[in-house]
Copies of this chain bind each other. A is one copy, B any other.
Amino acid sequence: MLSERRLQVLRAIVQDYVGTEEPVGSKALTERHSLGVSPATVRNDMAALEDEGYIAQPHTSAGRIPTDKGYRLFVDKLAEVKPLTAPERRAIQNFLDGAVDLDDVVTRTVRLLAQLTRQVAVVQYPSLTRSTVRHVELLSLAPARVMLVLITDTGRVEQRMVDCPAPFGESSLADLRARLNSRVAGRRFTDVPQLVQDLPEAFEAEDRGTVQTVLSTLLETLVEETEERLVIGGTANLTRFAHDFPLTIRPVLEALEEQVVLLKLLGEAKDSGMTVRIGHENAHEGLNSTSVVSVGYGSGGEAVAKLGVVGPTRMDYPGTMGAVRAVARYVGQILAES
């Protein structure tokens, strides 16, 4: 177990390194922090911290920098989430209050978060798994061609073309439309598959193939509709922390373009409370030199989606966590109001 003072030393190292972006030495430490001991003592502590793997030397005769493990300890034990200042909060509220619809809320949030943290922001759209079907419309465009339109209770509309295996009469179409809606209107997406399962049986043999095709297209659409979407912003901030150029930022840019990667990233985070994943804790290796701070947000008590930022492991954790938490709260409020 590390002594109290050694923890202080670690905290001081993290703070200084985050501030200066340069390895920090024993002398500089004692000058900038009132630890009450001499550099020599600090050196001993540093040696101990290095033995435990919390800090490392980039090369002999250089100062120390925190390791992922060091940041982890810092975040878990040594840092307090820094609340935003009053003007910052007002700015958030003003900015988000101007949003006109869901898209706008999400877009504004991502900009806000990127600006506030000066890092890359990621915001997931509120999940639709709890949505219900308002209406399903079928339109005949050609004898063997049907357009399927799905309308959800949140006002979203999805449309698909269906190529039928056989011509499908207008009356059969009306029949299918009526039966379909009476079963699924008002029901949750997740219940639909079961509700339409035996529908083909109600039709003549010649139409069953088409009915089946239409139904499976509908089910596909439902699945896609619930697929998680997200928006990112502030990628230009990546250039701030990349003297050691393309090497660092290229894989990050690549990872950020893969929505799948990001969704997995957010998915791995805890559903409640804030999650901080540091460096190699991130499964995706392009993100091994970055940290991800994420938190769920939602209109009620329940989180419906997540948002967060991606930045260098050498980031201001207290400040970033404060900003992320504050933004999540305000977005939740906005969603609850609308």
Question: Shortest distance in angstroms between A223's beta carbon and chain B's nearest beta carbon?
Answer: 11
Count of this chain's copies in the oligomeric assembly: 2
- The one of B147, B239, B254 that contacts A245, using a Cβ cutoff of 8 Å: B239
Given contacts A101-B160, A161-B338, is CB(A257)–CB(B242) below 8 Å? Answer: no
Q: Is A249 an interface residue (CB 8 A)?
A: yes
Q: Is A246 an interface residue (CB 8 A)?
A: yes
Residues of chain B within 8 A (CB-CB) of A240 are 246
Q: Is the interface of A mostly helix, strand, loop or mixed?
A: mixed
Q: Is A155 an interface residue (CB 8 A)?
A: yes
Q: Is A50 an interface residue (CB 8 A)?
A: no
Q: Is A236 an interface residue (CB 8 A)?
A: yes
Q: Give 1 or 0 for each of A145-184: 1 = CB within 8 Å of chain B CB.
A: 0010101000101111100000000000000000000000
Question: Shortest distance in angstroms between A8's beta carbon and chain B's nearest beta carbon?
Answer: 35
Question: Shortest distance in angstroms between A19's beta carbon and chain B's nearest beta carbon?
Answer: 20
Instruction: Select from chain B the residue with minimum beta-carbon distance to A150.
Output: B157
Residues of chain B within 8 A (CB-CB) of A126 are none
Question: Shortest distance in angstroms between A245's beta carbon and chain B's nearest beta carbon?
Answer: 6
The interface-forming segment of A55-63, A133-141, A191-199 is: A133-141
Residues of chain B within 8 A (CB-CB) of A82 are none
Residues of chain B within 8 A (CB-CB) of A253 are 235-236, 238-239
Q: Is A33 an interface residue (CB 8 A)?
A: no
Question: Shortest distance in angstroms between A122's beta carbon and chain B's nearest beta carbon?
Answer: 14
Q: Is A243 an interface residue (CB 8 A)?
A: yes
**B134 in contact with A141 (CB, 8 Å):** yes
A6 to B36 alpha-carbon distance, docked (Å):
75
**A151 in contact with B161 (CB, 8 Å):** no
Instruction: Select from chain B the residue with minimum beta-carbon distance to A135.
Output: B139
Q: Is A270 an interface residue (CB 8 A)?
A: no
Q: Is A250 an interface residue (CB 8 A)?
A: yes
Given contacts A161-B338, A239-B249, is CB(A151)–CB(B139) below 8 Å? Answer: yes
Q: Is A311 an interface residue (CB 8 A)?
A: no
Q: Is A233 an interface residue (CB 8 A)?
A: yes
Question: What are 24 residue pairs bridging A and B, where the CB atoms are less than 8 Å apart in the complex?
Answer: A100-B160, A100-B220, A101-B159, A101-B160, A134-B141, A135-B139, A135-B147, A139-B151, A149-B149, A149-B151, A155-B159, A161-B338, A233-B257, A236-B253, A236-B257, A238-B253, A239-B250, A239-B253, A240-B246, A242-B245, A242-B246, A243-B245, A243-B246, A245-B246
| Known pairs A157-B158, A236-B253, A236-B257 / 5 extra A-B pairs, C-beta < 8 Å | A100-B224, A147-B151, A149-B157, A235-B235, A239-B246
